[in-house]
Amino acid sequence: MIETGLKNKVVIVTGAASGIGKATAERFAEEGCRVVCWDVKTGEALEGGIFQAVDVTNATSIETALTEVVTLLGTPYVLVNNAGILRDGQLVKYKEGVVTGVLSDEQFDAVIAVNLKGVFACTRAVAKHMIASGGGVILNASSVVGLYGNFGQTNYIAAKSGVIGMTKVWARELGRYKVRVNAVAPGYIATEMIQSVPEKIRQNMAEHTPLGRLGTPADIANAYVWLASDGASFITGAVLSVDGGLVTGT
């Protein structure tokens, strides 16, 4: 195994109870990291780490948990802003000359709160500690649809595009403190959510991916670990698409 320089580092992963977040937490643990799992759902601590119930939309929840992390394990070296939700819907749904639905304020606000403001709030809290300790790595979950758009996902794309913008700003602002900031843009990934959709739709997703398959949570987790590692020490402000060539295949 290639040495990553991550052994014994403290890593926080948000949305770590399931899916990509869980795979990412487990992958960092394999590297010998002390992993802190944050989620609003119930979860379990990994060996050498802790699990905390954290609402990424609530600054007090974040700060309380972070104080405990620093006390028990030390200053975080890596923050993976993975937590996210979906509330899909067309901006305006129109059928036979009649408006039959719209994307609601609740749908829009809920996704922005978790997927965009949550990234902001967690990074604001953790970056202060990274600066004081001499450096760190912040990794943000965007999406291939944040780069190219997708039908019925105005709110999700607004958030994921915003994450890319914040990533580039923070790379500029925090670089002088030896804090690197990058984003990962997954394509179609076979999470629990995707597995629940009809087989025909999953097959269509795979067919539109040049590599001929859906991605796995492990594919994304490996990207996060590499971006956090010494091997990526001169990379900041980047958006790494992990999508099996999806964009070039559509």
Q: Which CATH number goes with the domain that contains 225? A: 3.40.50.720
Measure CA 183 to chain center: 8
pLDDT at 196 over 80: no
Instruction: Give the chain's domain count.
Output: 1
Give which of 75, 55, 192 is closest to 135, Cα–Cα: 75
Q: Is residue 103 part of a domain?
A: no
Largest CA distance in the chain: 62
Mean pLDDT of 192-200: 76
Q: Is residue 210 part of a domain?
A: yes
Tens digit of pLDDT for each residue in 214-234?
A: 999 999 999 999 999 999 999
Domain that holds residue 227: 10-85+114-249
Has this prediction a pTM greater than 0.85? yes
Structural tokens at position 91: 């901006």
Could you give the percent of the chain with pLDDT greater than 70?
97
Tens digit of pLDDT for each residue in 170-191?
A: 999 999 999 999 999 999 998 8
pLDDT at 247: 67
Q: Is residue 100 part of a domain?
A: no
Angle at 247 (CA atoms; ends 242, 248), nearest 5 degrees: 110
- Bridge partner list, 14: 38
Q: Is residue 188 annotated as part of the catalytic site, yes or no?
A: no
Q: Can you tell me whether residue 34 is helix, strand or coil? A: strand
The active-site residue, picked from 77, 156, 188, 224, is: 156
Pair 55, 38: CB distance under 8 Å = no
Mean pLDDT of 199-207: 85
Q: Give the helix, strand, coil percentages of the chain, each rounded to 5.
A: 45, 20, 35
Query: In whole angstroms, what is the distance from residue 141 CA to residue 81 CA?
Result: 6
Strand pairing class (10-14; 78-81):
parallel
pLDDT at 194: 78
Q: Is residue 129 part of a domain?
A: yes
Q: Is residue 99 part of a domain?
A: no
pLDDT at 199: 85
pLDDT at 65 over 90: yes
| E strand intervals along 132-247 | 136-141, 179-186, 239-242
pLDDT at 239: 98
pLDDT at 1 over 70: no
pLDDT at 203: 87
Give which of 222, 196, 190, 223 is closest to 209, Cα–Cα: 190
Distance between first and last Cα of the chain: 35
pLDDT at 249: 44
Tens digit of pLDDT for each residue in 4-62?
A: 999 999 999 999 999 999 999 999 999 999 999 999 999 999 999 999 999 999 999 99
- Bridge partner list, 140: 81, 183
